Amino acid sequence: MSTTQQLKEFTQQVRRDIVRMVHAVQSGHPGGSLGCAEFLTVLYQKELKYSTDFTMDGKNEDLFFLSNGHISPVYYSVLARSGFFPVKELASFRKLGTRLQGHPTTHEGLPGVRIASGSLGQGMSVAIGAAQAKKLNGDDRLVYSLHGDGELDEGQIWEAAMYAAGKKIDNYIATVDYNQKQIDGATNDVMPLGDLKAKFEAFGWIVLEVKKGNDVEAIIAGLDEAKSKTGKGKPVCILLYTEMGNGVDFMMNTHAWHGKPPSDAQLESALQQNPETLGDY
């Protein structure tokens, strides 16, 4: 899939999946999931080189690690609609004994998922290890990860950032979902992050900013530029400015929907704003 219109239609269906999954079990995290729908769509439908014949080692493939695992609804939707497992399995989200738990896990062997995530701060360390392994194995594919901006409150992120620069892990692109909101409020109120661009640069990273983080074309341009910066002796960071709850008007411009399910009426409103494009599960 490559056209802008196709990517937008795919994203629209992903948004439907997100709100339907969270509503069905009255549990989950729609806000950040909606905010990253365009990004993960572009990543899996256009940018990543991978096989849906899934193996854990991912030899000669680009690898992606979701660090902020609570946005599993968007991850599961994009993986299913990219061919990793049946779309109908989305109906099992957060139900006991299923492969689609609230945070991604590995013990049930869900294709596409290489680490259990959701304990914030750990994903960057894992991604760096995978990137370093690719270098040692002579594998020239790239490693990607996604992080919440609230996740940057975790000290392990900055230990990993220091390591990646110090070891010249230049086959790695980390993206920060910079919506400036977390579960308890604005990031500036909970724990001010300061100048993130300057911070990552001070740690020895190449830093790019995508100011329109919910615009498909801007994301494509940002990821293509990031790829062009790999292989230059430094890890690459993308600051992706998104809107939490994007595409559902009553979920936008607030942190309130970080981990809150919609009611029946709210679900219907959200679905009306995002007409079906690829078929519901």
Percent of the chain beyond pLDDT 70? 99
Of the candidates 7, 84, 76, the one whose C-alpha atom is nearest the C-alpha of residue 41 is 7
Q: How many CB atoms lie within 10 A of CB 237?
A: 29
- Domain spans of the chain? 4-273
pLDDT in tens, 174-183: 999 999 999 8
* Reported confidence tier of residue 139, pLDDT bands at 50, 70, 90: very high
Residue with the two structure tokens 């409020």: 185
Q: What is the CA radius of gyration of the chain?
A: 18
pLDDT at 118: 84
pLDDT in tens, 148-207: 999 999 999 999 999 999 999 999 999 999 999 998 988 999 999 999 999 999 999 999
Residue with the two structure tokens 């595409």: 247
Q: In whole angstroms, what is the distance from residue 63 CA to residue 232 CA?
A: 19
Q: Phi and psi of 211, rounded to 5°?
A: -70, -25
Q: How many CB atoms lie within 10 A of CB 210?
A: 23
What is the assigned CATH class of domain 4-273? Answer: alpha beta
Q: In whole angstroms, what is the distance from residue 243 CA to residue 222 CA?
A: 17
Exposed, middle or buried by CB within 10 Å (0-12, 13-18, 19+), for 241?
Answer: middle
Element (H, E) at 10: helix 4-25
pLDDT at 1: 52
Per-residue three-class SS string for 166-211: HCCCCCEEEEEECCCEECCEEHHHHCCCCCHHHHHHHCCCEEEEEC
pLDDT at 33: 98
Rounded to the nearest integer, the mean pLDDT of the chain is: 97
Average pLDDT over residues 204-225: 98
pLDDT in tens, 54-94: 999 999 999 999 999 999 999 999 999 999 999 999 999 99
pLDDT in tens, 104-127: 999 999 999 999 998 999 999 999
pLDDT in tens, 1-50: 569 999 999 999 999 999 999 999 999 999 999 999 999 999 999 999 99
Task: Give Cα 192 to chain centroid, integer Å.
Answer: 22
